[in-house]
Amino acid sequence: MPTDDRYSRQVRFAPIGAKGQERLRAATVAVVGCGALGSACAEQLARAGVGTLRLIDRDVVESSNLQRQTLYTEADAADCLPKSIAAARRIRLINIEVACEPLVCELGAANAVDLLRSASLIIDGTDNFLARHLVNEACCQLGTPWIYGACVGAYGVSAAILPGTTACLRCIQPDLPTAGDMPTCDTAGIIAPAVHLVAAWQVAEALKILVGDLDAVRRELWSCDLWHGGFQKVNLTTARDPACPACGAGATRPLLAGGDDPVVVLCGRDAVQVRRGALDLAAAARLLAGRTTLANGHFVRWVDGNLTATAFADGRVLVQGAASPVAARAFCDRWLG
Ligand SMILES: [Zn+2]
């Protein structure tokens, strides 16, 4: 299908035009987290003709995702496909002109800057504040714009962060929330309309930045409760903190500098994540022959008693049912050496 027909309605929109469309084609957008927000944004960006989408996600598709994560199907959940792989497959069916770079991995302190380095813009599709603040620090270091987005229940919040111009996430949230302090989709639930409201805001701001219409970018953090009503805004121009550790003149970027925790308890998921060195999946599958319940080229899953472990090539092992971080680590050492 010729490009001029495919994007004709969008090109006719004066702030984009033919020149803006060409800029979209030349752009690379990294989507960090391909859950509800990430997959909704990725689909809109693919349909808009963004040339390259880097899809970064650590999880696999589950049936509980299908209520709101619109890129995925029942077959993806049945096949336990990693979200980034499933998203790339679906996007190729939607728009063959888009180059997808699916990455089955977790963005952490050690790899954040490398993962985001060549992107024109970053979409926040993460589900936790540690990951968001890592994205924030990496983007402040790289000078790359990113679009914050979050939702839980019927509530949504978003902001375009322009390093050097607007306040960054750390300016307006100097203290990171402690894990377990904030409601999550697992604890408070979520409705799909809240996802699509936030995704619409994120993609609109992304399009403005990608086509170069920076004057149109909203310099504010907005939030909304779709169920009970109410809309709030915080000015991001006046909220800049010159002493901010992420974007200030003497920024130390403490999260990037601090490295990754080798063992993390995943709240609400009855699982512990153990981070090890990169894993040869084929070798691990041979090692675990007889105990392996699934080895699909993206991960190896095995069972021992009450524990189920899923090991990814990037070195992460999710241990479900582990009584403690120490028990999870011991389990990994026992089976993977
Ligand atoms: Zn800042």
In tens digits, the chain (337 residues) has pLDDT values of 445 699 999 999 999 999 999 999 999 999 999 999 999 999 999 999 999 999 999 999 999 999 999 999 999 999 999 999 999 999 999 999 999 999 999 999 999 999 999 999 999 999 889 999 999 999 999 999 999 999 999 999 999 999 999 999 999 999 987 766 777 777 778 999 999 999 999 999 999 999 999 999 999 999 999 999 989 999 999 999 999 999 999 999 999 999 988 888 876 678 899 998 889 999 888 888 888 888 888 999 999 888 999 999 999 999 999 888 888 998 898 888 8
User: What is this structure's pTM?
Assistant: 0.92
Determine the pLDDT at residue 184.
75
Determine the pLDDT at residue 173.
94
Q: Are 81 and 65 in contact (CB under 8 A)?
A: no
Which token pair is 278?
């990169």
CA distance 207 to 217: 9
Distance of CA 254 from the midpoint of ligand 1 (Å): 12
Q: Into which CATH architecture does domain 3-258 fall?
A: 3-Layer(aba) Sandwich (3.40)
Q: Enumerate long-range contacts of 323-329, CB under 8 Å, 24 or more apart.
A: 324/272, 325/263, 325/264, 325/265, 325/272, 325/274, 327/272, 328/263, 328/272, 328/274, 329/262, 329/263, 329/274
Distance of CA 250 from the midpoint of ligand 1 (Å): 11
Domain with CATH 3.30.310.10 in the chain: 263-336
The owner of tokens 């909203």 is: 218
Query: Which residues neighbour ligand 1 (ion) by CB within 5 Å?
Result: 168, 170-171, 244, 246-247
Determine the pLDDT at residue 162.
97
Distance of CA 165 from the midpoint of ligand 1 (Å): 10
Residue 239 Cα distances to 48, 69, 165, angstroms? 32, 33, 11
Distance of CA 82 from the midpoint of ligand 1 (Å): 33
Determine the pLDDT at residue 185.
73
CA distance 116 to 122: 7
- Angle between the 36-48 and 83-94 helix axes, to the nearest 10 degrees? 30
Rg, Å, the chain Cα set = 20
Distance of CA 120 from the midpoint of ligand 1 (Å): 20
Q: Rounded to 5 degrees, what are φ and ψ at 308?
A: -120, 130
Q: Which helix (H) or strand (E) holds 312?
A: strand 307-312
Distance of CA 162 from the midpoint of ligand 1 (Å): 10
Domain with CATH 3.40.50.720 in the chain: 3-258
Determine the pLDDT at residue 9.
95
Distance of CA 175 from the midpoint of ligand 1 (Å): 12
Q: Are 121 and 209 in contact (CB under 8 A)?
A: yes
Q: Which helix (H) or strand (E) holds 125?
A: none
Distance of CA 239 from the midpoint of ligand 1 (Å): 9
Instruction: Give the list of residues 6+ apart from residue 274 with CB closer than 8 angstroms, or none.
Output: 262, 263, 316, 317, 319, 325, 328, 329, 332
Distance of CA 314 from the midpoint of ligand 1 (Å): 30
- Angle between the 192-210 and 17-26 helix axes, to the nearest 10 degrees? 100
Q: Into which CATH architecture does domain 263-336 fall?
A: 2-Layer Sandwich (3.30)
